A and B are shown apart, each in its own frame.
Chain A
């Protein structure tokens, strides 16, 4: 086995000194099967694996698959990963582990302050990466090339390498986010994309959605997203969201055991006051009047 790993554990931490967010970067070439060499265990950070050679039987969160040269495996913190039998198979791959912003959370990650992306873009990239895509991106050699460049920059340490490495990391993240959205919606079926998008809103109705977040969810720029949603649905993205919120509130109002405040917060209004005003503007009824009308036998 031939392995080259950089991390912060050694005292002569010269390579990663300027990069506290890169927890580990490495490449491995393995020429004989090693039992116990690749245990199935939870990822500590945001981790990217790129297969250069060989065929690996890997498992992420209980799903077993084969990774071939050119494939990339993306892991969120907490995702269980490894060979199902703990075996390190023959072949070679490289990897990088990147720490996230702020408190470590399970299955959640956004790029930290080191990134050259502004806050909004970082959140967009993070929300695409965290939105529940399958962990493998097939034939994604761009990612492998960027990883190789990062390693080269780190070993050479030429002038300006700090900016160069962080720039390459940003590029890698953007590539991954774009690849994820390209896989889930190849731009052919807007009705289906819209349906998936609106299911996401429904699943997380209490979240304070912004248009930027919604656009990122389906991997479009905000302007194009606005225009497409408007021409397809007749609503702006935020009006459509309000529609779903009120439709859901109507259903909840018919259950006398849920308080108006709970309904307001569950359906994403800031407060019961905000809920009441919006509801009345559209229906003419306050939520409590509406509730009273619908609890009578007819």
Chain B
């Protein structure tokens, strides 16, 4: 019997799943891998620890679930979070840690570039918003701030490129990850000359650009031995977590969108055209030559509710935040939609889409003497989801959306899913105990193996069995508050800047 293994390199954990060829899960394991914050704006991962964690988890899954049942591993497919940058020297050794998407050190490079016509040109060519998350601005930051190091850099690579290079010796980057660097021209699918010039590098300092179906070389002898895998095991380069999350939900083409809410979140659509937005509000990432994943990311998802829980949860079971979150949610469910007039802006971490304002901050608005703790709990969740709705609204200026899919640990909680359906006034589909990113990687692998004719066909086979239907009355209530939410979010921009300055 053959099986497919998917490996997701995330910023908090490495997740390994094994599927049979029909897409049933045979086993899964995760391994925690920390993100380091040596400075307030910094967010870094140790590439060697990511590698060792990946090896460890993969090896454990193989020895526990795969080898004893005599499965033959047909393919190992990788995905990773986007926007990571790692500088390596001429021996391929890391020069420091890998910078992750959440790192904000390049804020000046991003803000300056945004105000120029060059910036506009680069955004339109690359599809990546001009933001410190983008490797384009991170490399420019290293050029401007670490001149000696910059001179020694042989290549700038992504964390996935590093992991694959350790396993096979090849330096490759797939279309999806490359299209999130801010350096790739997504229309012509080659490195963009303006972007390279701004970053101060040439294309030989980047990995080889390849489609997501590419075999990223052969597993080196030592790893064949330690993992117990034959040389013929296919190592597929795969895609990004964002692209796989939408593919795994089977969302493709006009009429559908997928919402992911983990710690942070995103609303995404997939189609054959780039979404051109004059206000630079969306990303456009490449899955294949003719498939674009477009949408907007938010900084403020489940992490904001976790923050709230840490402050106000009862923690009757020490260290069991899930339990405290469930208690708070049940408290919130006893309050009517709209939280009796208490409105929350969730921008504790600044915000990306759609307002793209790093200075934005959280606000409880309209507090009156009758509000109790339960109203604060409910309005916190409502505010996070108004933020998610505001991304969907801007997407609807370009794309029709009739149905929604939802995934992610925060988004798939029943209370949250229902609220999303009510706020959007659209049916929402999901599947419990389902990991969209890994399933997306399974679909990609199975397509490469010829089990599906194309990714479009593969996407059609996905059925998210649970559907939540919207409550019209609740929707009417939410809509009134949302209007106020949207107004406050832009109206307060001067005050956001002022309070952010005081906080620095």
Contacts and interface: CB of A to CB of B under 8 A. Distances in A.
Interface residues of B, number: 34
Contact of A234 (B32, B93, B154, B223): B32
B32 A294 contact: no
B46 A285 contact: no
5 contacts: A246-B52, A254-B93, A282-B55, A284-B222, A297-B90
Given A234-B29, A234-B30, A188 B315 contact: yes
Given A187-B319, A284-B221, A298 B91 contact: yes
A93 to B, nearest CB: 32
A243 B56 contact: yes
A246 to B, nearest CB: 5
Contacts of A57: none
B102 interface: no
- The residue among B49, B51, B227 with the most chain A CB atoms within 10 A of its own CB is B49
A23 to B, nearest CB: 36
A250 B91 contact: no
A254 B95 CA distance: 11
B91 A189 contact: no
B378 to A, nearest CB: 21
Contact of B319 (A228, A247, A254, A283): A228
A190 B32 contact: no
A24 to B, nearest CB: 37
B426 interface: no
A112 to B, nearest CB: 31
A45 to B, nearest CB: 33
Interface in A95-137: none
A234 B29 CA distance: 7
A258 interface: no
B310 A189 contact: yes
B225 interface: yes
Given A234-B57, A298-B91, A282 B52 contact: yes
Best-surrounded residue of A190, A198, A234, A247 (most CB of chain B within 10 A): A234
Contacts of A240: 32
Nearest to B316: A187
Interface string B55-90: 111010000000000000000000000000000001
Given A188-B310, A193-B319, A234-B31, A243 B222 contact: no
B214 interface: no
Given A187-B315, A235-B32, A283 B223 contact: yes
Contacts of B49: 243-244, 247
B321 interface: yes
B323 to A, nearest CB: 12
Most buried by A among B46, B48, B51, B227: B48
A233 interface: yes
A83 B73 CA distance: 70
A9 interface: no
B90 A283 contact: no
Interface string A272-298: 000000001111110001000011111
B414 interface: no
Contacts of B441: none
Give the one of A194, A246, A294, A295 with max B CB within 10 A: A246
Given A187-B318, A234-B32, A240-B32, A280 B52 contact: no
B230 interface: no
A243 B53 contact: yes
Contacts of B319: 187-188, 190, 193, 220, 228
Contacts of A250: 48, 51-52
Contacts of A282: 52, 55-56, 59, 226
B34 A195 contact: yes
B13 interface: yes
A251 interface: yes
B435 to A, nearest CB: 14
A281 B226 contact: yes
A15 interface: no
Contacts of B52: 243, 246-247, 250, 282
B313 interface: yes
Given A234-B13, A250-B48, 9 more contacts: A186-B315, A195-B34, A243-B49, A243-B52, A251-B48, A254-B93, A284-B223, A284-B225, A284-B226
